[in-house]
Amino acid sequence: MAGGVVVSASGGKEYPGKMTLFVFLTCFVASSGGLIFGYDLGISGGVTSMDSFLLKFFPSVYHKEKEDVSTNQYCKFDSELLTLFTSSLYLAALVASFCAATVTRVFGRKWSMFGGGITFLVGAVINGAAESVFMLILGRILLGIGVGFANQSVPLYLSEMAPPKLRGMLNIGFQLMITIGILAANLINYATAKIAGGWGWRVSLGLAAVPAVVIALGALLLPDTPNSLIERGHAEQARSMLSKIRGTDDVQEEYDDLVAASEESKTIKHPWKNILEKKYRPALTMAILIPFFQQLTGINVIMFYAPVLFKTIGFEDDAALMSAVITGLVNMFATFVSIATVDRVGRRALFLQGGTQMLICQIVVGTLIGFQFGTSGVGANLSRGYASCVVLFICVYVAGFAWSWGPLGWLVPSEIFPLEIRSAGQSINVSVNMFFTFIIGQAFLTLLCRLKFGLFYFFGGWVLVMTIFIGLFLPETKNVPIEEMVLAWKKHWFWGKFISDDDIHVGKKTSTFGA
């Protein structure tokens, strides 16, 4: 047997394996799945603030906006149909991620990515050509199905391909692509809003076809992960794939762990039923609470509604879109901080630091807006300096999210489930995420109207709760091999009692986890 396995400082096994060009390229291509999600998150806010778009599909919102110049700043753009347009996608993604669980497990990760890309492509075409609200919403539902498949499969793919020591970094490629998608969408909106003929929104919506083609073609080129190959009975292929991605033949130990995980997985016939077993409780709890908390940071208030929000606090149309571009840039660049640090300082440190930073900013932004508009919402537009200050703190808040809850909200749930229920677990993660993205999308305008500046305190309160939760309940998962995660739970002060000794089938003698 190969002798390259050592015990790491954190107590887990370290497999031989380095960053090979092959693993980098496969992860790079797979990450592009994040583009479709990001493009989508970024495009609707700008489109729904374009006059030509509102006039064509939502004339009542348009007229209300034009006539009501003197009404309450907090309650300007409230239209249920308009928010339904934005958030219909997330409901579709929620349902689709459950179907994707089966495709991902039975046919492999790559076919889910491919299916996601193709469905998204059709949705983009329908949206670009839309003549009615029906076509708009139908297009968005197809986009949502695409996102459901991609978000279910891409994070799993990345976490399985990556060597444990680089898993955080490679997985965060997905979040990086999300932020690039959002930024691209913001820039495109900025340009298309200026198109005189009033058809700029068609370009914005139709260009979603580009990232769709990228991921669909990319998925065709990708190999499947060794974990999935073994799970589907292709042991030999899995072995050579493992050597190829690790850049060494010294993969026996890791291969043995994959086989052990796969054998365990064969005993599970109904992942959806088994996931309720006690030993999976820690991972299940995280797969529900992490995406829930991620959305309760309030990030999508900024992502969807930045132009609307900036308009509300007194920016002109153009300045509002420009500010959205600024937050988009901050979001993207700050993601690199997590790429560079996640496998060194670990997941917990980023969560705790990022959470604290977001909390402080939320209190400051809420207070600044409260001072200006009070509870009546009627007040002069913000002065330039005051408004820049609000934008600055919003940017620092976005940066905190971009190196903590943003990437880790996708990384952590994708790396904590054992193989037999990984696909089901990831669907839960995606669907909870989409459900609360939907709720926030749907409720934001009403919440802003009711809670006023207190909306920022509301999300700040949640950030406090989630930061304490992470501090107490999330074990560190950096460098822990994905098929050995059970050992990290076993060692945890609270979750340890959920894992009996019989539940541990990996980790052999070389590991000191759980000793």
- Residue 467 engages ligand BGC in binding (rule: CB under 6 A): no
> Any alpha helices (H) in 342-418, and if so which ranges?
347-373, 384-402, 405-415
Span of 22-30, 92-100, 174-182, 489-497 interacting with ligand BGC by CB under 6 A:
174-182
- List 6's β-bridge partners, or say none: 14
Question: Considering the complex, what minimum distance in angstroms separates the CB of residue 326 from ligand BGC?
Answer: 14
Both tokens of 139, joined, read 């297009």
Among 119, 175, 189, 427, binds ligand BGC (CB under 6 A): 175
- In the list 362, 437, 467, 479, the residue contacting ligand BGC (rule: CB under 6 A) is 437
Residue 290 one-letter amino acid:
I
> Using the rule CB under 6 A, is 338 a contact of ligand BGC?
no
Q: Which two tokens stand for residue 223?
A: 């190999």
Q: How far is the CB of 450 from ligand BGC (least distance, A)?
A: 22
406 belongs to the binding site for ligand BGC (CB under 6 A): yes
| Residue 327 binds ligand BGC, judged by CB under 6 A | no
Residue 409 interacts with ligand BGC (CB under 6 A)? Answer: yes
Whole-number Å distance between alpha carbons of 2 and 199: 63
Q: Show Cβ contacts of residue 384 under 8 Å, excluding neighbours closer than 6 positions.
A: none
In angstroms, give the least distance from the CB of 153 to ligand BGC: 15
Residue with smaller CB distance to ligand BGC, 180 or 242: 180
The phi, psi pair for 473, rounded to 5°, reads -115, -10
- The correct pick among 82, 100, 275, 303 for binding ligand BGC (CB under 6 A) is 303
Residue pair 453/367 in contact (Cβ under 8 Å)? The answer is: yes
Alpha-carbon span 170 to 161, nearest angstrom = 9
Tell me if 299 contacts ligand BGC by CB under 6 A. yes
- By CB under 6 A, the residues from 219 to 238 that bind ligand BGC are none
Beta carbon nearer to ligand BGC, 62 or 436: 436
Binding test (CB under 6 A) with ligand BGC, winner from 61, 182, 188, 416:
182
Between 108 and 400, whose beta carbon lies closer to ligand BGC?
A: 400
Q: Which amino acid makes up residue 43?
A: I
Nearest residue to 440 via CA among 289, 287, 304: 304
Q: Which of 149, 147, 158, 150 is nearest to 228 (CA)?
A: 158
Alpha-carbon gap, residue 234 to 444, rounded angstroms: 48
Whole-number minimum distance, CB 259 to ligand BGC, in Å? 33
Nearer to ligand BGC (CB atom), residue 193 or residue 303: 303
Whether the CA torsion 237, 242, 248, 253 is positive or negative: it is negative
Which DSSP string corresponds to 82-123? HHHHHHHHHHHHHHHHHHHHHHHHHT-HHHHHHHHHHHHHHH
Of the candidate spans 83-91, 225-233, 296-304, 448-456, the one that interacts with ligand BGC by CB under 6 A turns out to be: 296-304
With tokens 């459900």, the residue in question is 435
Exactly one of 178, 180, 242, 424 binds ligand BGC (CB under 6 A); that residue is: 178
Residues touching ligand BGC, count (CB under 6 A): 15
Q: Which residue has the tokens 């990001």?
A: 38
Helix (H/G/I), strand (E/B), else coil: 393: helix
328 near ligand BGC, judged by CB under 6 A: no
Q: Which is nearer to ligand BGC, 405 or 498 (CB)?
A: 405
Minimum Å gap between C-beta 68 and ligand BGC is 29
**Which residue stretch of 47-55, 202-210, 245-253, 293-301 sits at the interface with ligand BGC (rule: CB under 6 A)?**
293-301
330 is an interface residue for ligand BGC by CB under 6 A: no
3-class SS of residue 141: helix
How many CB atoms lie under 10 A from the CB of residue 363?
17
Q: Does 331 help bind ligand BGC (rule: CB under 6 A)?
A: yes
Distances (CA, A) of 314 to 49, 304, 318, 372: 14, 18, 11, 11
6-7 and 13-14 strand pairing: antiparallel
For 232, half-sphere exposure in the C-beta direction (CA atoms, 13 angstrom radius) is 16
Which part of the chain contacts ligand BGC (CB under 6 A), choosing from 137-145, 175-183, 458-466, 484-492? 175-183
Q: How far is the CB of 321 from ligand BGC (least distance, A)?
A: 17
Residues from 32 through 61 that contact ligand BGC (CB under 6 A): 41
Among residues 25, 329, 26, which one has the least CA distance to residue 190? 329
Q: In whole angstroms, what separates CA 329 from the centre of its chain?
A: 17
Site for ligand BGC (CB under 6 A): which residue of 112, 171, 179, 323? 179
* Closer residue to ligand BGC (CB): 245 or 303: 303
Q: Which is nearer to ligand BGC, 204 or 300 (CB)?
A: 300
Cα 322 to Cα 309: distance, rounded to the nearest angstrom: 12
Question: Which of 48, 86, 300, 477: binder of ligand BGC (CB under 6 A)?
Answer: 300
| d(C-alpha 249, C-alpha 252), whole Å | 8
In terms of CB distance, is 265 or 331 closer to ligand BGC?
331
Q: How far is the CB of 352 from ligand BGC (least distance, A)?
A: 18
Closest approach of ligand BGC to the CB of residue 82, in Å? 18
Alpha-carbon distance 196 to 187, whole Å? Answer: 17
Q: Which is nearer to ligand BGC, 26 or 433 (CB)?
A: 433
Interacting span for ligand BGC (CB under 6 A) from 123-131, 386-394, 404-412, 471-479: 404-412
Residue 408 tokens read as 């880790």
Which spans of this chain sit near ligand BGC (rule: CB under 6 A)?
A: 41, 175, 178-179, 182, 294, 299-300, 303, 331, 406, 409-410, 433, 437
